[in-house]
């Protein structure tokens, strides 16, 4: 199977605005149900981080754009050491999270 480089992509136009909202919510840590729900799961002996952002505003946005948006928010909110431990950055709608068995309070 050949290995190839991906072609350059243009981020989704709404990505920057969504990133700002995620960072604002992360800093404020409110209980507003209209805001993104940021879930951080630390697992394993080296404490890898899985960052899930549950938000219905992801609907219609490609998963790669969702992940890149979340990673940019992580860059702003985490130390370089923490950032290196992020192994999953996934944006999910509430329905997608439910189907994947991701639960939160």
List the domains of the chain with CATH numbers.
15-99 (3.30.300)
Which H or E run contains 75? helix 63-77
Question: What's the pTM value of the predicted model, to 2 decimals?
Answer: 0.88
- In the predicted model, residues of the chain with pLDDT beneath 70 are none
Crossing angle between the packed helical segments 15-28 and 63-77, to the nearest 10 degrees: 40
Cα atoms in the Cβ-side hemisphere of radius 13 Å centred on 72: 16
């Amino acid at each position: 199977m050949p290995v190839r480089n991906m072609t350059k992509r243009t981020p989704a136009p709404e990505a920057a605005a969504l990133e700002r909202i995620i960072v604002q919510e992360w800093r404020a840590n409110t209980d507003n149900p209209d805001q993104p729900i940021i879930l951080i799961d630390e697992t394993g002996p080296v404490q890898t981080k899985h960052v899930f952002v549950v938000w219905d505003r992801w609907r219609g946005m490609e998963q790669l754009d969702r992940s890149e948006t979340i990673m940019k928010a992580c860059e702003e909110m985490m130390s370089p050491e923490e950032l290196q431990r992020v192994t999953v950055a996934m944006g999910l709608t509430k329905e997608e999270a439910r189907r994947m068995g991701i639960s939160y309070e």
